[in-house]
Structure 1
């Protein structure tokens, strides 16, 4: 059992860039260095395969106490290694309970890839990598239309609506002109990866927002009720701001800040096209915004998505192979700014709920920033437990980090992302309701594939369904 724990610790260290694999193995103080090194190398070599098998089998959802890196090591040895034999300790019976499901998911993976041997899953060829297989997510802008009308519009264009996805397997199987409703977010449509909708009339008119699923989660988890005052601290380019406005139904106020004039101008155009009327834009550094300013005395919700390395963005991974490995100097500078911004946000006296998010996979910009801010808040805030069914959790670097969410092309079919929800320890009842609504997003029943013809969606200029 000790070798599995040691291997999981080394994998976590490699992922968070604490050192090289070999250096972390030798620093682990594990007696059999050769055994540990071999186990970590092989687990890492099959990392994408193991992520897919674990996610599709729902292992982490079923076993809450099993951490992702340990699960990866154990599943490697169970399916691809030498088996547990006399090893495994208390984890052996746990994994053996799921053995049939895990083996079935590995077999399905080989069928999809058209291979018969485990080693063939590693073959480097023309097959696209995980980043290029992230589907096209399309958020229906409920300020201008509704999900049912958008679905009907696509059906009349020759697309085949497959209903609400039951899981990642349905989404992976999408091809051609088929599309689904996301199983978690009721305004999110899912199309095959290479679907290009930039010239689509509903997108051009602001009825649709092309936005990755992981990027939709921050506003959905903040869950401000209509009439709330919300602050979007680092707002440009504005997709999350428009999502907040849709959740507010344009009732209430959004204070959006960005210090880049060009980005702010582009954001203003995007918000106007989306029909947003409750947002007040300010060309200002969020760190210079005073918590004592009376204009913000009713702000109970803050969304903070600060500048980051972008190491989780699929487009960057595809275009820049080294984009996922920012320099230590850049990481330190970004993390210092992110921590200042988060600590500053927590000083707003009426704040009750805050979402911190990045499109980075680096621990320095994510768990480390959240941990430092929580320590600085002296117990006034805590991490809210969110989406317990989400398969990819925060790195276990401090107690409670499992309440954070991570996302990746391999485990969630999204871009790489990190989300933490912080809530004031004593929450008034009005905010408790919003918190409860966001604790486990439960989408409404999927629009059914109806045979009867609905009333046509209006032309883009007439704002259908408004």
Structure 2
């Protein structure tokens, strides 16, 4: 019942304007924040439908001890979700008494509105547009398992593996229990949109990381070799940090900073579940970290993913109902912080390579920030041209901006994202072109089938490949 009580509390907080969904979820102290976040977002999306069904069925009149927000979450699970995955507690038999009436009222509402699918009941502004129809990307955590074992596991669960995708259209047409290997990232599996894996045993054991494809690119493009010292400047919630650790094979050091105590606590839980052992967390403002501190004298790689407007986030309309484009005042404040953070990162004396990324679509937070940093350190760093086949490039606001990457649901079937890779000039001139460009992430052969399949007990975690 803890899941449903927590979801109801978040919904009530959003309604009373105590904060956004994300802020309230992280502040709830519920252990599985992703599961809670998904349930709250979906319940909120169907809020008007649920209110209508609950009122027509007379549920709150019949059950006076049932609080409205708890009722909404429970009815969502009963009618539109996946059943009582959170247990249901004492409310499960209560809802069972009203199940037939609630289902009848939902069916009557569909007939009244002339629709046949649940999603067709949504108002136009609440329907999942292109931004909510991107596939479910799942990164296989190489610290705990390997791609072959995970594919085998899903196949034994009744999923159909279709091999490596050859185009975006392959990803767009995914349906049912079919899944693919991403055409670009070698440890990224792709499932149909809205596939819910929050309760999957491999996710709960840290063998899978639910991470958008665009969000996987920063760590891959930073490409720190095992043994490196890396700074993750604004680290929470930790998906990119766990990805860096996997690339390092837990060999080396990650210094991860974040100011938010609650987000950092959730991040610590995520990293422990993912098997990360090379990371040092610090509740600290990255701008207060001295580049001359001897602890960071070996840092050659920095990932900077600072706070931003979130205008590219797929669920922003659910977190902030009715939110439009960020105001000029807010963009100016955010860009000022981002510029300071990027210039500060470039001041680390041993830095060789840096990736700057945001989940924003705004030029002020992206190309303008990068241009400002390059102008303040002329001849010291340059933009690295990466992934030449990537279809969505930076806005042509200054020479070289085309080396940056952009992402969007329409062009890349991902969340909205921006990435720039900067490298010290003397590094670029002293290494081969291949090393300077970093990973091109060209498609590699599809995973080779093992001659002897590993047998996994139902619900057990996969062992790492040897």
Q: Name the residue aligned to 1:290.
A: 290
Are 1:253 and 2:222 matched, yes or no?
Answer: no
- Residue 125 of structure 1: how far off its partner (Å): 9.9
Q: Contact 1:144 / 1:463 at 8 angstroms: preserved in 2?
A: yes
Q: Name the residue aligned to 1:404.
A: 404
**1:337, 1:406 → 2: CA distance?**
21
User: Alignment partner of 1:406: what SS?
Assistant: strand
Q: Name the residue aligned to 2:213.
A: 213
Q: Name the residue aligned to 1:143.
A: 143
Q: Name the residue aligned to 1:274.
A: 274
Q: Give deviations 1:213-269, integer Å, cap 9, x for gaps.
A: 000000000000001000000000000000000000000000000111111111111
**1:438, 1:357 → 2: CA distance?**
16
- Residue 435 of structure 1: how far off its partner (Å): 3.8
Change (3 A) 1:317 1:306: same
- Residue 456 of structure 1: how far off its partner (Å): 2.0
Q: Give deviations 1:143-197, integer Å, cap 9, x for gaps.
A: 0000010000000000000000001010011000000000000000000001000
**2:448, 2:391 → 1: CA distance?**
27
Q: Name the residue aligned to 1:89.
A: none
Q: Give deviations 1:337-359, integer Å, cap 9, x for gaps.
A: 00000000000000000000000
- Residue 433 of structure 1: how far off its partner (Å): 8.0
Q: Name the residue aligned to 1:368.
A: 368
Change (3 A) 1:403 1:213: same
- Residue 457 of structure 1: how far off its partner (Å): 3.7
Are 1:203 and 2:199 matched, yes or no?
Answer: no
- Residue 453 of structure 1: how far off its partner (Å): 6.5
Change (3 A) 1:345 1:459: farther
Q: Contact 2:137 / 2:210 at 8 angstroms: preserved in 1?
A: yes
Q: Contact 1:184 / 1:443 at 8 angstroms: preserved in 2?
A: yes
**1:374, 1:356 → 2: CA distance?**
12
Q: Name the residue aligned to 1:313.
A: 313
**2:332, 2:255 → 1: CA distance?**
29
Q: Contact 2:386 / 2:437 at 8 angstroms: preserved in 1?
A: no
Change (3 A) 1:293 1:378: same
Q: Give deviations 1:444-464, integer Å, cap 9, x for gaps.
A: 3112578x7711246776651
- Residue 128 of structure 1: how far off its partner (Å): 3.8
Q: Contact 1:168 / 1:413 at 8 angstroms: preserved in 2?
A: yes
Change (3 A) 1:315 1:125: closer
Are 1:224 and 2:224 matched, yes or no?
Answer: yes
- Residue 317 of structure 1: how far off its partner (Å): 3.4
User: Alignment partner of 1:392: what SS?
Assistant: coil
**1:125, 1:233 → 2: CA distance?**
36
User: Alignment partner of 1:427: what SS?
Assistant: helix
Q: Name the residue aligned to 1:329.
A: 329
Q: Contact 1:227 / 1:252 at 8 angstroms: preserved in 2?
A: yes
TM-score normalised per structure 2: 0.70
Q: Contact 1:224 / 1:434 at 8 angstroms: preserved in 2?
A: no
Q: Name the residue aligned to 2:264.
A: 264
Superposed, 1:14-163 pairs within 5 Å as 128-163=128-163
Q: Name the residue aligned to 2:182.
A: 182
Q: Contact 1:381 / 1:423 at 8 angstroms: preserved in 2?
A: yes
**2:219, 2:232 → 1: CA distance?**
10
**1:235, 1:429 → 2: CA distance?**
31
- Residue 378 of structure 1: how far off its partner (Å): 2.1
Change (3 A) 1:437 1:346: closer
Q: Name the residue aligned to 1:5.
A: none
Q: Contact 2:291 / 2:348 at 8 angstroms: preserved in 1?
A: yes
**2:453, 2:372 → 1: CA distance?**
53
Q: Name the residue aligned to 2:383.
A: 383
**2:380, 2:458 → 1: CA distance?**
50
Q: Give deviations 1:29-52, integer Å, cap 9, x for gaps.
A: xxxxxxxxxxxxxxxxxxxxxxxx
More off after superposition, 354-363 vs 321-330? 321-330
Unaligned 5+ residue runs, structure 1?
1-123
Q: Name the residue aligned to 1:465.
A: 464
Change (3 A) 1:213 1:462: closer
Q: Contact 2:207 / 2:461 at 8 angstroms: preserved in 1?
A: no
Q: Name the residue aligned to 2:417.
A: 417
